[in-house]
Amino acid sequence: MSRPRVDVVVLTMNDRPAEEAAAQATLRAQSGVDVRVVVVGNGCTPEVVPPDALTVSLPGNVGIPGGRNAGAHALHEAGDPGEWLYFLDNDASFPRADVLARLVAEAERHPEAAWVQPRLTGPDDAATPRRWVPRLRASNPGRPGKVASMTEGVVLIRRDAFDAVGGWEEQLFLYHEGVDLAWRLYEAGWSGWYAASIRMHHPLTEPARHALYHRLAARNRIWIAHRNLPALLLPLYLSAWTTITLARAVRRGGLSQTLCGMREGWTSRLTQRRRPMSWRTVHRLTAAGRPPII
């Protein structure tokens, strides 16, 4: 019996070579699956590359969704694409050699799930910030179940589902592409599964360390809402999100950039192609614990 094939996409800007080498060592140690890797240089030529891996050198920084799509496309064009795609942050690591095999087994137990999400922790194998738990009730990150969101940098996705919905939305460039992809996968009839007993490690970093965070996160929330939500839900979602976001920005900083992003998102929302989800999808998202008004 043949082993499952997992195609792994790693995106780099050659900005953390030591962390990349350590992460790739844990990737190469994965057992029970056949792994094929592509390292995508987002505006660079990859410098840290596992043996036998494919490489893609993009001439400019096309953003994280665009870079990941380029990697998935390169693996497809190489022939005999795997049934599974795994998107791996270049500083995330596998704490055990059976992580990918266990994720595939979990996906096979849940054939309705387009993606399977491991529990992401810090290097201590325990700390899980709320933003890394792909559901609203994040106080217990060890509870598995159906989910309607994803942590984009450590996720297993069925290749046929990913291709059918067009992959990551490249216009977003950075932030909230996982929400957008999850909504489109739900609209296509799929769901997601959180395999909380399977861990991945990642440095305990803050997204606000990126200068573009506050602006792009605000802009993209408006864009994905305009792209995906029924007209009746748009004011509910955006008013709830605006209230929460402004309160956080006042308390934590980044208010001016958040307001800039909101203005950019609102004035440019019509550049986004609307494909409103059905009310059946709204119901399914709500049943999965993530109603699209929050």
- pLDDT for residue 209: 60
Give the residue from 115, 109, 84 showing the smallest Cα distance to 182. Answer: 115
User: What is the end-to-end Cα distance of the chain in Å, rounded?
Assistant: 45
CB 264 within 8 Å of CB 171: no
Residue 1 has a pLDDT of: 60
34-48 CB burial, b ≥16 within 10 A, e <16? ebbbbbbbbebebeb
Residue whose structure tokens are 């922790």: 121
Cα–Cα distance between 48 and 90 in angstroms, integer? 10
The residue among 49, 59, 61 whose CA lies nearest residue 10 is 49
Q: What is the pLDDT of residue 108?
A: 97
Rg (the chain; Cα; Å): 18
Calpha distance 276→203 (Å, rounded): 36
- Beta pairing class for 154-158 and 84-88: antiparallel
- The mean pLDDT values, 10 residues at a time, for the chain of 294 residues are 91 94 96 97 96 96 97 96 96 97 98 97 92 85 93 96 98 95 98 97 77 91 97 94 90 90 95 96 94 86
Q: Model-level pTM?
A: 0.94
Could you give the CA distance from residue 202 to residue 94 in angstroms, rounded to a whole number? Answer: 9
Q: Beta-carbon neighbour count of residue 84 at 10 Å?
A: 23
